[in-house]
């Protein structure tokens, strides 16, 4: 008898971002360039092993620690340190204990646990993110059972944020809508809100009874760790409930360790304690408890002021290289007389530039030049280096 359970299945489409890496890997051309996934690469095109990580791993290897289960909510030394780093050790949120923090499988894991909690435990049914956004936001919301929508964010004509459109759309949302917001280094546009604009967003969220869920995957890639958390401090000061997903994949180059955190900011320590029990039950029935290695590395750095300073320095090197490459690409586009002005690239933040290239132009870059990017026109600046920036600029100019 034929079992028909899987017989009628059609293949799922390749992931719009990680699928780009697969195509890049399969391309035999030596001059190929990967501007797809948001992952830092050195001038030599390699994922770095940070010195501060190497030292922590050496110390861990020496310690001969056994591989026990860690708590469902994560390593306590890690969650406490991350909470202090994100909100500030002397902040009202940390001192009052009104945030519940759990270790998660990267930023994506934090988003998923937070969405499950808001949907299954708090009864939220609608979720929105910016248009455009990181594609996985919509997919995650859908998988978690939400009715999915978007709010305007990008002003293509002026290469800026469509702030009026954003506020208008947020103002039209029903109460208890989960609103995903990129707290810095907006993915994919690279355009962030000013602090005055954040104040307005906070006021709308409060007035409409919306539930902000901030996503901070790129802390440290705009102006530095503390400065990049500015929007978080504004939300903290407002006194409202909000959720925050943070990740160390990028800032520690710990992509494969899946190390992130979910913070749920409530009204009191009592509320936070109850929320923590609910988060633990969401985690337990997903993956039981998180892995230990990434948390042990990060915890060692965050809890040691000298190592923390060393990490910040290494992060600054990465941030500065990206900025240099932004300028190099924009300058080269101008030098060769590209049909369009690309100076906006230098005004964008973080790893990405939203180029305005069409899907067909992105396809031509891949087919004719072996240059891979996301079809929505996002390029990851980290894939550029002094050896390939002229080649990339010329290719972009030719597909315009
Ligand atoms: C990206 O946007 O490229 C990164 O966040 C990696 C990913 O998982 O998509």
Please state whether beta strands 259-265 and 242-247 pair in parallel, antiparallel, or not at all (unpaired).
antiparallel
- Asked if 226 and 216 touch (Cβ cutoff 8 Å), the reply is no
Cα–Cα distance, 345 to 39 (Å, whole number):
18
Please state whether beta strands 371-372 and 33-34 pair in parallel, antiparallel, or not at all (unpaired).
parallel
Question: Which atom of ligand 1 is the closest one to the Cα of 374?
Answer: 3
Q: Tell me phi and psi for residue 303, to 5 degrees.
A: -90, 5
pTM summary value: 0.96
Known catalytic membership, residue 311: no
Task: Say whether 94 sits in a helix, a strand or coil.
Answer: helix
Cα–Cα distance, 126 to 384 (Å, whole number):
39
Task: Say whether 396 sits in a helix, a strand or coil.
Answer: helix
* Paired strand residues for 260: 104, 247
Name the closest-CA residue to atom 1, ligand 1. 38
- Asked if 228 and 184 touch (Cβ cutoff 8 Å), the reply is yes
- Asked if 198 and 233 touch (Cβ cutoff 8 Å), the reply is no
Q: For a substitution probing ligand 1, which of 16, 17, 36, 188 has the most ligand atoms within 8 Å of its CB?
A: 17
CA 224 to centroid of ligand 1, rounded, Å: 20
Cα–Cα distance, 349 to 174 (Å, whole number):
31
Known catalytic membership, residue 134: yes
The catalytic residue among 162, 250, 280, 311 is: 250
Cα–Cα distance, 201 to 204 (Å, whole number):
5
- At 1 the pLDDT is 57
What is the DSSP annotation of 44-76? TS-----HHHHHHHHHHHHHT-------TT--H
Count of beta carbons in the 10 Å neighbourhood of residue 30: 6
Residue 92: name the closest of 237, 214, 231 by CA: 237
- At 245 the pLDDT is 98
- At 199 the pLDDT is 98
Please state whether beta strands 154-155 and 160-161 pair in parallel, antiparallel, or not at all (unpaired).
antiparallel
Pocket of ligand 1 (CB under 6 A): 17, 37-38, 134, 136, 187, 217
Please state whether beta strands 378-380 and 352-354 pair in parallel, antiparallel, or not at all (unpaired).
antiparallel
- At 2 the pLDDT is 64
The catalytic residue among 134, 169, 280, 311 is: 134
- At 111 the pLDDT is 98
Known catalytic membership, residue 237: no
- Asked if 195 and 359 touch (Cβ cutoff 8 Å), the reply is no
- Asked if 110 and 297 touch (Cβ cutoff 8 Å), the reply is no
Name the closest-CA residue to atom 9, ligand 1. 17
Per-residue pLDDT of the chain (400 residues; tens, 9 = 90+): 567 899 999 999 989 999 999 999 999 999 999 999 999 999 999 999 999 999 999 999 999 999 999 999 999 999 999 999 999 999 999 999 999 999 999 999 999 999 999 999 999 999 999 999 998 999 999 999 999 999 999 999 999 999 999 999 999 999 999 999 999 999 999 999 999 999 999 999 999 999 999 999 999 999 999 999 999 999 999 999 999 999 999 999 999 999 999 999 999 999 999 999 999 999 999 999 999 999 999 999 999 999 999 999 999 999 999 999 999 999 999 999 999 999 999 999 999 999 999 999 999 999 999 999 999 999 999 999 999 999 999 999 999 9
């Amino acid at each position: 008898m034929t079992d028909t359970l899987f017989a009628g299945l059609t293949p799922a489409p390749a992931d719009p971002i990680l699928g780009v890496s697969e195509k890049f890997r399969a391309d035999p051309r030596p001059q190929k360039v990967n501007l797809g996934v948001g992952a830092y690469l050195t001038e030599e095109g390699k994922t770095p092993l940070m010195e501060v990580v190497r030292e922590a791993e050496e110390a861990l290897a020496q310690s001969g620690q056994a591989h026990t289960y860690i708590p469902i909510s994560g390593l306590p030394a890690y969650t406490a340190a991350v909470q202090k780093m994100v909100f500030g050790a002397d902040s009202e949120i940390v001192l009052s204990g009104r945030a519940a923090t759990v270790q998660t499988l990267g930023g994506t894991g934090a988003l998923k646990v937070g969405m499950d909690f808001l949907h299954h435990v708090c009864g939220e049914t609608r979720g929105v993110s910016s248009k455009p956004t990181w594609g996985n936001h919509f997919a995650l919301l859908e998988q978690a059972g939400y009715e999915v929508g978007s709010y305007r964010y990008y002003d293509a004509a002026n290469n800026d944020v469509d702030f009026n459109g954003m506020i208008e759309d947020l103002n039209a949302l029903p109460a208890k809508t989960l609103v995903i917001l990129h707290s810095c280094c907006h993915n994919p546009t690279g355009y962030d809100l000013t602090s005055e604009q954040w104040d307005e967003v906070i006021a709308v969220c409060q007035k409409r009874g919306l539930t902000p869920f901030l996503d901070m995957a790129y802390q440290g890639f705009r102006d530095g760790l503390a400065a990049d958390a500015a929007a978080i401090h504004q939300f903290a000061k407002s006194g409202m409930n909000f959720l925050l997903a943070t990740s160390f994949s990028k800032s520690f180059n710990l992509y494969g360790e899946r190390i992130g955190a979910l913070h749920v900011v409530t009204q009191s320590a009592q509320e936070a304690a109850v929320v923590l029990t609910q988060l633990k039950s969401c985690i337990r029935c997903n993956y039981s408890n998180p892995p230990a290695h990434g948390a042990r590395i990060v915890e060692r750095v965050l809890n040691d002021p000298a190592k923390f300073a060393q990490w910040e320095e290494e992060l600054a090197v990465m941030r500065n290289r990206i900025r240099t490459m932004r300028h190099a690409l924009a300058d080269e586009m101008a030098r060769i007389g590209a049909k369009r002005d690309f100076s906006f690239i230098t005004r964008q933040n973080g790893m990405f530039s939203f180029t305005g290239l069409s899907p067909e132009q992105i396809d031509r870059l891949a087919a004719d030049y072996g240059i891979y990017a996301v079809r929505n026109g996002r390029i990851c600046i980290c894939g550029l280096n002094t050896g390939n920036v002229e080649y990339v600029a010329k290719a972009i100019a030719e597909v315009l």
